[in-house]
A and B are shown apart, each in its own frame.
Chain A
Amino acid sequence: MILSTTVLLLIVLAPLFGAVVAGLLRNVIGRAASAGVTILGVAVSCALSLLVFYQLVWGGAATYNHNIYTWFEVGPVSAHIGFLVDRLTAMMMVVVTFVSLMVHIYTIGYMADDKGFSRFFSHIALFTFSMLMLVMSNNFLQLFVGWELVGLVSYLLIGFWFERPSAVYASLKAFVVNRVGDFGFILGIAGALYWFGSLDYANVFAAAKLPSVAGRTVEIFAGHPWSVATIVCICLFVGAMGKSAQAPLHVWLPDSMEGPTPISALIHAATMVTAGIFMVARMSPLFELSETALSFVLFIGATTALFTGLIGIVQNDIKRVVAYSTLSQLGYMTVALGVSAYAGGVYHLMTHAFFKALLFLGAGSVIIAMHHDQDMRRMGGLAKYMPITCITMWLGSLALVAAPGFAGFFSKDAIIEAVAESHRAFSGYAYFCVMAGVFVTSLYSFRLLYMTFHGKERFVVEQGGHGHHHHHEPGHLDHPPRESPWVVTVPLILLAIPSVVIGWNTVGPALFGGWFGGSIQVLPRNDVLAELAHGFHGPLASVLHGFTQWPFWISLAGFVVATWIWLYQPSIADKAAKALRPLYNMLVNKYWVDDLYRALFVGGGQALGRGLWKGGDAAVIDGAINGSSALVDRTAGVVRWVQSGYLYHYAFAMILGLILLLGGLWWTLAHAVA
């Protein structure tokens, strides 16, 4: 069986069609049709993705790898648009289109009162197209195209409410910080083309297997030979650090919460930010060549996993808690890549996509109920008003903290065990970070649930009185909070289902059964998941075993502490903040990284620009032609007299000059030749 090119093209183009129609004709066709056409496009895409998934997994279809058209061809260097669809791709396609479809439906409710309703649908459909181009690519060019286009849509959506200066600032920050990553990424692509001789994955991976290529070294600095694989992989990973918000390029993601909540779920939790994880997994044949690059990946991932999670504990904005949680979980995925457990990273990507999208959409549901107030200090006790949101968020959180049996348990547990199994440089540090991270995850997750849904109500309901508008005093509502409409709750329920159950049937094949086949390639000596496979005796055994393991007890400890503090003794939190003032300040100020960057890069870049402009251009260069400047001054007097109102004269003088010049030239040359 062969996958159909037409079907693959439809998967990609259906959302693009929706985006273009909703984008260009939104004033003609109206709001309902804009939403309809994009939802239809994404629904088609999702259904066909499921079909492709079915054909690949159960229908015995072979991996699809063909070019669609040639982008440019210069001598032997050619760049194409083409698709590589194997199981890794198919899984990503299903995750992307399914979450996207849920978010599209949810958006009908969330953005109902927004004047940018149609524009929003056009953007999220465009995002779906771009993300599909990224995951379905069979070459580096298209990977980069998709990579940048998702960045574009992310920029547009973070700044969606562009009358808000904070949103516009956040969008600019996100784009530019991502560009720092892309700076590395494009160099990695250039290196792959130069040293591995192609932009196509298949050719590059084949070349990487040749000892003459894999063992090649170059001296970037004299006397220090580097393997070319290390250079290429680290450069590519710098790209992943931007897109997947790994420290120290993580600073854009928390600010991206300025965008509407549906895109926080879709772009900044479930799909786009996982592009870096996907990319490294896709490049596993290259990364396997470089122990150095993988150690670097491991170190960055572990650092991100622990230290961004810690910040989540002190956030009061409900979305920001989830955002820091996302950073931390992306760190876990990166750690998995760093210990060569690529399948583990991608598997956590998949489970995380469901439960994190759920948590964001749940947070959004709360935000609707609170009239777009996001501060948890003015929430509390919402469980009785919005039971569906509350229950689904509890389920999502249990998946996040890896409660045995929930989806996140299977994926996160595998990562922790893989780290324990690994002997790579920094694996000890990473083990500490992921273990400590378990406690931290538990702490901020339950804190969020308690502060939002339980305890006493910290908002005031003013019945009657003034009409319905959004300019309330913070914490004052004109009617009691109520459960969101079905377009909001149905996606929550549909996402809660996989968050709870998806692990049971998938963990065995995905992690230990070689389900990904040739998509992910691991050298035998690095294959920690193969080691773990010996201890795997089915999901039920894993769950039972899970109750006896450290991560479960650490997580439980986090639960107990969170319950004690935020459900029963809220004053402890304040006391702790006072007692540990320096620590608390450090977390609230996000380790001062943003301040450092602002001073160093924003301030520094502008100061440099001003210096070069006033010093370099004005003083030195224009100063150097000062003779002519002086000449300008002097002749200006003459010219003022010459032109005397009519610049025609000036032009005629020029024509005359040109004729004289050419005449003189002719004369000179005629004589010289004669």
Chain B
Amino acid sequence: MPASHLLSLLIWLPIVGAILVLVFGRQAQTARWLALGFAAATFVLSIPLWTGYDTGGPVMQFVESLPWINALHANYALGADGISVALIVLTTLAHLLVVIGSWGQIKDRVPLFMAALLGMEGVLVGVFAATDALLFYVFFEAMLIPMFIMIGVWGGPRRIYATLKFFIYTFFGSIFMLIALIYLHLKTGEFSLASFASASLSSKEQAWLFFAFVAGFAIKVPMWPVHTWLPDAHVEAPTGGSIILAAIMLKVGGYGFIRFSLPITPDASLEYAWVMIAASLIAIVYIGHVALVQPDLKKLIAYSSVAHMAFVTLGTFIALALVREAGNPAGARLGIQGAMVQMISHGFVSGALFACIGIMYERMHTRLIKDYGGIGHVMPWFGVFWVLFAMANCGLPGTSGFVGEFMVILASFQTKPLIAFIAAYTLIIGAAYSLWLVKRIIYGPVANDHVAAMRPLDAREWIVLAVFALGVLAVGVYPKFLTDLMEPAVQQIVTQLGQAKV
């Protein structure tokens, strides 16, 4: 395979763009166009990653490696399998859409916002591309900074509380992860993920490491019961921040479980899978009910995110029991594929829903559901988009929301029918909170004069929602393009899971 610097390009191009936007973007409009240029270029360059990934070739492709910190054997090592490719393309697309969507919404300190956005993009690509644990950790921590700036500068009135809560939660989690990585480094003398995965670890070591990783990733996902930072962060974040947070940042948690926990601590993952499964199932039922009664649009969708991400952790952790106890690697592949498809789908659906809320907020300056009603009469196309995304949110077949949930439910049934029974509750409660919301904001008579005065979608808003809608429908109608891309990586993970370390 020829040497490729594509991943480096995708990391550094937006970061260079961020600097240029800060330097040359004194005029808001210049900053916007510069940011658009860089975001568009990055997205276009990420397409060869997808089209060029050879599903018949080695699992890790586009590999790069340079010595970084010799004393630690840490390398600037990048590579992408189908899972990374899918997440990276989602990242570049989402950022492009956020640049377009924030065009008129952000009026204050535009260069800084655009720079934070582009910086975020580079860092997130780095997270998904790093094959060296230390490099991963640097990117993992670095992504907090632009998110902080976004919430802190353009956030709502309680932004200080939200950012601190966010900070304490995530910092608390990642410090344990750092300790785990240091321990693994001491054990292996390296930082490469491959060497971590092949390290032989006793069950006691694995248990400690497992929970250290859980601390880091469960908070990012976020899993019940460490989810309470998310609704607060979303409520305070500006629209663009919310979209990135929901569509991409949460995925880092799910990605971490698949990339770190499963290969490095397979035996502990098996032993404590029940904890993760139980937490996921509780999230589906508990959070579903909590979402139902939220008076605030953003909180409702934030809680809905927690419930949907629970399918990611559920699909991931049933895989172990399926491989080891049921001798059913096919079911395990279905579970992990389901988890991954759910992540991509949730990227589109939650991104779209937060974009919709942003469009409403910009016109009404309120997030309270009770202030809305009958928007369908004044913004008919917006109503169509809302109904589509709400349907995707409750897993309607033909939309992306169905695919992952369907796969995870099928795989859960093969683990234990009871797990599928509880997970399938999402069909009812998801429909209840998603469509009750539609009923209250889109349908019914026009609620008040402010709603009556809402202006229809402009071209930029239309483009953003239409692209999200296309993503939702593409994955829903033909998920094979996604599952084929990820199949070699998933197969490799499942093979690794079959081999006990102790």
Interface residues of A (CB under 8 A from B): 69-77, 141, 144-145, 148-149, 152, 155-156, 159, 162-163, 165, 168-169, 171-172, 175-176, 179-180, 182-183, 186-187, 189-191, 193-194, 218, 220, 231, 605-606, 608-610, 612-613, 616-617, 621-622, 625, 628, 631-632, 635-636, 639-640, 643, 647-648, 650-651, 654-655, 658, 661-662, 665-666, 668-670, 672-673
Is B420's CB under 8 angstroms from A190's CB? yes
Contacts A182-B427, A621-B228 known; A191 to B417 CB distance under 8 Å? Answer: yes
Is A673's CB under 8 angstroms from B428's CB? no
Give, as a whole number of angstroms, the nearest-CB distance from B332 to chain A: 9
Is A612's CB under 8 angstroms from B289's CB? yes
Band of interface residues on B: 35 or more
Is A636's CB under 8 angstroms from B292's CB? no
Residue in B142, B148, B164 whose beta carbon sits within 8 Å of that of A639 in the complex: B164
Give, as a whole number of angstroms, the nearest-CB distance from B8 to chain A: 20
- Chain B 11-50 against A: per-residue CB contact (8 Å), 1 yes, 0 no? 0000000000000000000000000000000000000000
A650 to B151, CA, bound (A): 12
B425 CB contacts on chain A under 8 angstroms: 183
B413 CB contacts on chain A under 8 angstroms: 187, 190-191, 193-194
Residue in A163, A186, A669, A673 whose beta carbon sits within 8 Å of that of B427 in the complex: A186
Residue in A608, A621, A636 whose beta carbon sits within 8 Å of that of B160 in the complex: A636
B421 CB contacts on chain A under 8 angstroms: 187
Residue in B152, B228, B289 whose beta carbon sits within 8 Å of that of A650 in the complex: B152
A141 to B478, CA, bound (A): 13
A-contacting residues, B260-279, CB 8 Å: none
Is B334's CB under 8 angstroms from A669's CB? no
Residue in B138, B148, B417, B418 whose beta carbon sits within 8 Å of that of A654 in the complex: B148
B431 CB contacts on chain A under 8 angstroms: 175-176, 179
Is B445's CB under 8 angstroms from A163's CB? yes
Q: Which 9 A-B pairs have the closest CB atoms?
A: A190-B413, A609-B289, A647-B152, A609-B293, A145-B397, A75-B330, A162-B443, A168-B443, A609-B292
Give, as a whole number of angstroms, the nearest-CB distance from A494 to chain B: 32
Give, as a whole number of angstroms, the nearest-CB distance from A644 to chain B: 12
Residue in B291, B294, B417 whose beta carbon sits within 8 Å of that of A187 in the complex: B417
Does residue B130 face the partner (Cβ distance < 8 Å to A)? no
Is B72's CB under 8 angstroms from A666's CB? yes
Contacts A613-B293, A655-B145 known; A145 to B480 CB distance under 8 Å? Answer: no
Does residue B290 face the partner (Cβ distance < 8 Å to A)? yes
A617 CB contacts on chain B under 8 angstroms: 228, 290
- 10 additional A-B pairs beyond A605-B292, A609-B291, A632-B168, beta carbons within 8 Å, are A75-B491, A77-B410, A141-B406, A145-B397, A168-B443, A189-B410, A605-B289, A625-B168, A632-B161, A658-B138
Does residue B242 face the partner (Cβ distance < 8 Å to A)? no
Does residue B165 face the partner (Cβ distance < 8 Å to A)? yes
Is B483's CB under 8 angstroms from A73's CB? yes
Contacts A159-B443, A172-B436 known; A186 to B406 CB distance under 8 Å? Answer: yes
Interface residues of B (CB under 8 A from A): 69, 71-72, 138, 141-142, 144-145, 148-149, 152-153, 160-161, 163-165, 168-169, 172, 178, 182, 185-186, 189, 225-226, 228, 286, 289-294, 329-331, 333-334, 337, 374, 376-377, 387, 391, 394, 396-398, 402-403, 406-407, 409-410, 412-414, 417-418, 420-421, 424-425, 427-429, 431-432, 435-436, 439, 442-445, 478-480, 483-484, 487, 490-491
Is A654's CB under 8 angstroms from B144's CB? yes
Is B337's CB under 8 angstroms from A628's CB? no
Is A176's CB under 8 angstroms from B428's CB? yes
Give, as a whole number of angstroms, the nearest-CB distance from B99 to chain A: 20
A573 to B72, CA, bound (A): 93
Is A651's CB under 8 angstroms from B149's CB? yes
Give, as a whole number of angstroms, the nearest-CB distance from B361 to chain A: 21
Q: What would 12 A/B residue contacts be, using CB atoms closer than 8 Å?
A: A71-B478, A75-B330, A77-B333, A176-B432, A187-B409, A187-B421, A609-B290, A635-B164, A658-B142, A658-B145, A669-B71, A669-B72
Is B398's CB under 8 angstroms from A145's CB? yes
A179 CB contacts on chain B under 8 angstroms: 394, 427-428, 431-432
A231 CB contacts on chain B under 8 angstroms: 417
A156 CB contacts on chain B under 8 angstroms: 387
A189 CB contacts on chain B under 8 angstroms: 410
Is A172's CB under 8 angstroms from B337's CB? no
Give, as a whole number of angstroms, the nearest-CB distance from B299 to chain A: 9
A658 to B225, CA, bound (A): 27
Is A220's CB under 8 angstroms from B228's CB? no
Is A616's CB under 8 angstroms from B286's CB? yes
A605 to B292, CA, bound (A): 8
A144 to B407, CA, bound (A): 13
B443 CB contacts on chain A under 8 angstroms: 159, 162-163, 168
Is A190's CB under 8 angstroms from B409's CB? yes
Residue in B289, B397, B407, B420 whose beta carbon sits within 8 Å of that of A74 in the complex: B407
Residue in B138, B165, B480 whose beta carbon sits within 8 Å of that of A72 in the complex: B480
Which chain A residue lies CB-closest to B431?
A179
Is B290's CB under 8 angstroms from A187's CB? no
A655 to B431, CA, bound (A): 43
A643 CB contacts on chain B under 8 angstroms: 152, 160
Is B333's CB under 8 angstroms from A673's CB? no
A655 to B427, CA, bound (A): 43
A665 CB contacts on chain B under 8 angstroms: 178, 182
Give, as a whole number of angstroms, the nearest-CB distance from A272 to chain B: 15
B479 CB contacts on chain A under 8 angstroms: 71-72
Is B410's CB under 8 angstroms from A168's CB? no
Residue in B142, B168, B439, B491 whose beta carbon sits within 8 Å of that of A169 in the complex: B439
Is A650's CB under 8 angstroms from B409's CB? no
A155 CB contacts on chain B under 8 angstroms: 435
B69 CB contacts on chain A under 8 angstroms: 666
A229 to B431, CA, bound (A): 29
Which chain A residue lies CB-closest to B287?
A612
Is B71's CB under 8 angstroms from A673's CB? yes
Give, as a whole number of angstroms, the nearest-CB distance from B385 to chain A: 13
Give, as a whole number of angstroms, the nearest-CB distance from B274 to chain A: 18
Give, as a whole number of angstroms, the nearest-CB distance from B479 to chain A: 5
Give, as a whole number of angstroms, the nearest-CB distance from B424 to chain A: 5
Is A73's CB under 8 angstroms from B436's CB? no
Is A605's CB under 8 angstroms from B432's CB? yes
A77 CB contacts on chain B under 8 angstroms: 330-331, 333-334, 410
B164 CB contacts on chain A under 8 angstroms: 632, 635-636, 639
Give, as a whole number of angstroms, the nearest-CB distance from A34 to chain B: 15
Give, as a whole number of angstroms, the nearest-CB distance from B467 to chain A: 16
Contacts A168-B439, A616-B286 known; A72 to B424 CB distance under 8 Å? Answer: no
Is B410's CB under 8 angstroms from A162's CB? no
A647 CB contacts on chain B under 8 angstroms: 149, 152-153
Is B480's CB under 8 angstroms from A73's CB? yes
Give, as a whole number of angstroms, the nearest-CB distance from A233 to chain B: 15
Residue in A70, A613, A635 whose beta carbon sits within 8 Å of that of B290 in the complex: A613
B377 CB contacts on chain A under 8 angstroms: 163
Which chain A residue lies CB-closest to B438?
A172
A622 to B228, CA, bound (A): 7
A183 to B427, CA, bound (A): 6
Which chain B residue lies CB-closest to A618?
B228
Which chain A residue lies CB-closest to B291?
A609
Is B152's CB under 8 angstroms from A162's CB? no
B478 CB contacts on chain A under 8 angstroms: 69, 71
Residue in A190, A218, A632 whose beta carbon sits within 8 Å of that of B165 in the complex: A632
A187 CB contacts on chain B under 8 angstroms: 409, 413, 417, 420-421, 424
Give, as a whole number of angstroms, the nearest-CB distance from B146 to chain A: 8
Contacts A605-B289, A651-B148 known; A165 to B427 CB distance under 8 Å? Answer: no
Give, as a whole number of angstroms, the nearest-CB distance from A137 to chain B: 12
Is B417's CB under 8 angstroms from A220's CB? yes
A529 to B470, CA, bound (A): 50
Give, as a whole number of angstroms, the nearest-CB distance from A193 to chain B: 6
A636 CB contacts on chain B under 8 angstroms: 160-161, 164
Give, as a whole number of angstroms, the nearest-CB distance from A24 to chain B: 9
A149 to B395, CA, bound (A): 11
A617 to B186, CA, bound (A): 39
